Structure 1
Amino acid sequence: MTRAFRPPRSSRWVPGNHFELLENGEEFFPRVFEAIAAAQREVMVETFILWEDKVGQQLHAALLAAARRGVDVHVLVDGFGSHDLSDAFLGSLVEAGVKFRIFDPGRQFLGQRLNLLRRMHRKIVVVDGHLGFIGGINYSADHLADYGPEAKQDYSVLVRGPIVAHMHQFTREAVLARAERKRRPAPAPATGRPHAGTAHAIFVTRDNHRHTNDIERHYRVALRAARQRVVIANAYFFPGYRFIREMRRAALRGVEVRLILQGRPDMPIVRTAATLLYDHLLRAGVRIYEYCDRPLHGKVALVDNEWATVGSSNLDPLSLSLNLEANVVIQDRGFNAALHRRLAHLMENSCTQVEAQPPGRWQGLRLLRSYAVFHLMRWFPTWAGWLPRHQPTITLAQPPAQGEPDRPASAAA
């Protein structure tokens, strides 16, 4: 393992893991549903978005079947991302024994959701404590190619090995109420899990308390250590100035730094924000590619021949300063090579490379804009701390009372 990749002190590499890259819903959904179908003891699911479409119905059927055969099933969805689930959808799960929880459900005002900030944006599955999934893919049909031009390009990983114990412990503490955690035995420690491969890994999260910038710090450590190549594919790109500084420094010392961003964004403001950084990055030698086949939703990166990361965290203010996120950092040549092949194919076949604009009459205006954006990024983490902060609640859906319509009640958990 390369000594140059020295993670933050609070993190330790866990050896003996195996990672399988899953691209888009076509590869991801069947593997998750198969794992749930084979579950014997426990299923834990965290997701930002769960839609009641064909994908949501497949997940619903898998969870329902697992609960009916006695598996302990827990689901945590975000109250902003998964706000339109019907009474029938929730009620049937709850009646079968699924513990279905909603993170910080918000009220609507004039049909608008106001609970935008500090969302639970993680996408994690842990089955029987030994098989895990983590990445950026939600449970919605827009992660399948047959959805049409707005289908998303995204990635996740299937995880085996001791690092799954870290994911399990984390989801257990995030999903279960304190009283339930006392009643249920804790999972076995990581050292007690059998090795499944050769990959070293770190499970890293971001919250608004003790781990406010852990994911970003892992990125910056890897960028600082880079000697050959960096490839970052991220849907929503507007990181802080220290992140941009490390990218520029890597490119200026001769590292091949390539950045894949949205060329056909699902929200126009996403591309507008990213383009404000183009001049600053291009002048340092960073190569920028815009993915133009469909909206890019991925959150993956690789550095040199060993380091890689996959997870839920975008490189924008919401993910880096406000939302609850989870990534896995991987040290493994085989996985790095597999991810590089996928991203290289993307750049060669589905991307347009952005060219630097030649000096002209608007050069001064572009420099002024870059200066303003630089200082906006520099101070944003401080400003984010001033934004509304509240103690989020987790609401447990209850079965409908007899004689009443199928509308699950809520109780704090």
Structure 2
Amino acid sequence: MKTRWFSGNRVDLLENGEAFFPAVFDAIRHARREVILETFIVFEDKVGQELHEVLLAAARRGVQVDVLVDGFGSADLSPAYVQSLTAVGVRVRTFDPAVRVLGFRFNVLRRMHRKIVVIDGERAFVGGINYSADHLADFGPQAKQDYSVELVGPIVGEIHRFVRTAIHDPVGDVINAGHGLRAAWGRWHPHGPQQSAERAAVNAGSADALFVRRDNLHHRNDIERYYCIAVRRARKQVLIANAYFFPGYRLLRELRRAAGRGVEVKLVLQGEPDVPIARTAASTLYDYLHGGGVKIYEYCERPLHGKVAVIDDEWSTVGSSNLDPLSLSLNLEANVVLRDKPFAQHLRTRLEHLIERSCKQIEVPAHKGWVWWAQVRGFVVFHFLRRFPVWASHLPAHAPKLELLAQPHAHSPARPHAHATGSSHAR
């Protein structure tokens, strides 16, 4: 699938679970033909239970429902949770499942990290929010700050084609996949409704949209490349909010160059991280970024989980991809890139509000006692980042499999037309 721009889209920002979950669950409740949902995490808390209820109801009224979860992120889903879905015809697949060894999960690398929902080929959601209660403010101090978008318009047809292919024949996402593996998996024979771009092709708004993904075969660096291009073209402001910030050397260099030519470059990073090493890793870059004129803010109200950016008055992106080695070199990710002034201005306003209300600016130290150590550390970090994509290709790898967790009943009363695909072919 080639990456291309689509005009005439409507895009709405969904900030945190308070906006995201009601929008997605309402869309599933009103689905008429098809629901495709893929996510890194589903927990069996109050959010996961509500998701379970709306998927069950959709399947019972004859909607074709496909769910793809990650074998690491959603490893603890109970058999009862899954089997109750498959009993009414929901096809639940897991990406690269693995059994625990001495209580530990070792399938941590090369995860299916995307968060996408497509309803009837007409409406799509893309972002970074998982299905768990820690995306709601009432979770407490560890509730995550995050973002997603709801899309209507021609871009939905592109996203729809992608997710339909991914749930049946995800060979393009496989590490070291050869063309011979396609025969082992089998050709894609779509089941159910064939609607895609046709229904979504009507102009719905003013946004130009681009669906960008990262996989381990054909699109290894697409998301990072679009970030670099946008920063390189920036003339006034770059504002990036990203939870896990440890990007490649090329993006770091572009950020410094932008600041050097007078662009205001602001980074919003974690100050209260859910994974402490994330802040530690990012902080090793502060001296280098400060030296180029980049302004750094740490969000301190709760853990930051967002992966968004706004550049100048028009360009923006929202998605699942962090700016760290896992997302940029190993995981399967998806972002939407947008050219739309109203949306960019709204997202910038929300991020500036975050900076003013809940962030502290990291100041350049007036006196640093260990200047030589900072220089040595910077040298090591930057050369590590420069070569990381090459090193990542040599990390332990295998051909991940997509497994149908339980076979839907071929003649379920609620779904007499349901069919099942193969269950556990290695890719």
Q: Given the two structures, how large is their TM-score scaled by the length of structure 2?
A: 0.90
Once the 2 structures are TM-superposed, how far is the Cα of residue 12 of structure 1 from its aligned partner? Answer: 2.3
Alignment partners' CA distance in 1, 2:369 and 2:156:
56
Percent of pairs identical after alignment?
Answer: 59
Answer whether contact 2:91 2:407 (CA < 8 A) is retained: no
SS of the residue aligned with 2:159?
A: helix
Alignment partners' CA distance in 1, 2:17 and 2:204:
25
Alignment partners' CA distance in 2, 1:164 and 1:33:
18
User: Per-residue displacement from partner, 1:146-193 (whole Å, max 9, x unpaired)?
Assistant: 001100000000000000001100000001255563455644446971
User: Per-residue displacement from partner, 1:272-298 (whole Å, max 9, x unpaired)?
Assistant: 000000000011110000000000000
Once the 2 structures are TM-superposed, how far is the Cα of residue 87 of structure 1 from its aligned partner? Answer: 1.3
Once the 2 structures are TM-superposed, how far is the Cα of residue 359 of structure 1 from its aligned partner? Answer: 3.7
Answer whether contact 1:259 1:287 (CA < 8 A) is retained: yes
Alignment-derived partner of residue 361 in structure 2: 353
Alignment-derived partner of residue 249 in structure 2: 241
Give the letter for the 1:272 counterpart: T
SS of the residue aligned with 1:113?
A: coil
**Greater displacement, 173-182 / 27-36:** 173-182
Alignment-derived partner of residue 129 in structure 2: 137
Matches within 5 A, 1:250-265: 250-265=258-273
Alignment-derived partner of residue 278 in structure 2: 270
Alignment-derived partner of residue 68 in structure 1: 60
Does residue 1:344 correspond to 2:352, yes or no?
yes
Alignment partners' CA distance in 2, 1:399 and 1:255:
55
Alignment partners' CA distance in 2, 1:340 and 1:143:
21
Give the letter for the 2:115 counterpart: K
Alignment-derived partner of residue 363 in structure 1: 371
Matches within 5 A, 1:67-146: 67-146=59-138
User: Per-residue displacement from partner, 1:301-343 (whole Å, max 9, x unpaired)?
Assistant: 0100000000000000000000000000000000000100100
Give the letter for the 1:254 counterpart: G
SS of the residue aligned with 1:89?
A: helix
Runs (5+) with no aligned partner, structure 1: 1-8, 402-409
Give the letter for the 1:141 counterpart: A
Answer whether contact 1:54 1:141 (CA < 8 A) is retained: yes
Does residue 1:155 correspond to 2:147, yes or no?
yes
Matches within 5 A, 1:173-192: 173-177=165-169, 181-184=189-192, 186-189=194-197
Alignment-derived partner of residue 13 in structure 2: 21
Once the 2 structures are TM-superposed, how far is the Cα of residue 78 of structure 1 from its aligned partner? Answer: 0.1
Alignment-derived partner of residue 304 in structure 1: 312
* Gap change, CA 1:194 and 1:263, over 3 Å in 2: same
Alignment partners' CA distance in 2, 1:383 and 1:357:
34
Alignment-derived partner of residue 197 in structure 1: 205
Answer whether contact 2:122 2:199 (CA < 8 A) is retained: no
Alignment-derived partner of residue 43 in structure 1: 35
Alignment-derived partner of residue 164 in structure 1: 156
Alignment partners' CA distance in 2, 1:212 and 1:51:
29
Q: How many matched pairs?
A: 397
Once the 2 structures are TM-superposed, how far is the Cα of residue 389 of structure 1 from its aligned partner? Answer: 2.0
Alignment-derived partner of residue 383 in structure 2: 375
Once the 2 structures are TM-superposed, how far is the Cα of residue 398 of structure 1 from its aligned partner? Answer: 1.7
Does residue 1:319 correspond to 2:331, yes or no?
no
Alignment partners' CA distance in 1, 2:267 and 2:355:
10
Once the 2 structures are TM-superposed, how far is the Cα of residue 208 of structure 1 from its aligned partner? Answer: 0.2
Alignment-derived partner of residue 412 in structure 1: 424
Alignment partners' CA distance in 2, 1:338 and 1:176:
37
Give the letter for the 2:86 counterpart: V
Alignment-derived partner of residue 415 in structure 2: none
Runs (5+) with no aligned partner, structure 2: 170-185, 410-421
Answer whether contact 1:251 1:284 (CA < 8 A) is retained: yes
Give the letter for the 2:373 counterpart: L
Alignment partners' CA distance in 1, 2:2 and 2:58:
36
Alignment-derived partner of residue 175 in structure 2: none
Structure 1 runs (4+) deviating above 6 angstroms are none
- Structure 1 vs Structure 2 CA RMSD: 1.7
Does residue 1:56 correspond to 2:48, yes or no?
yes
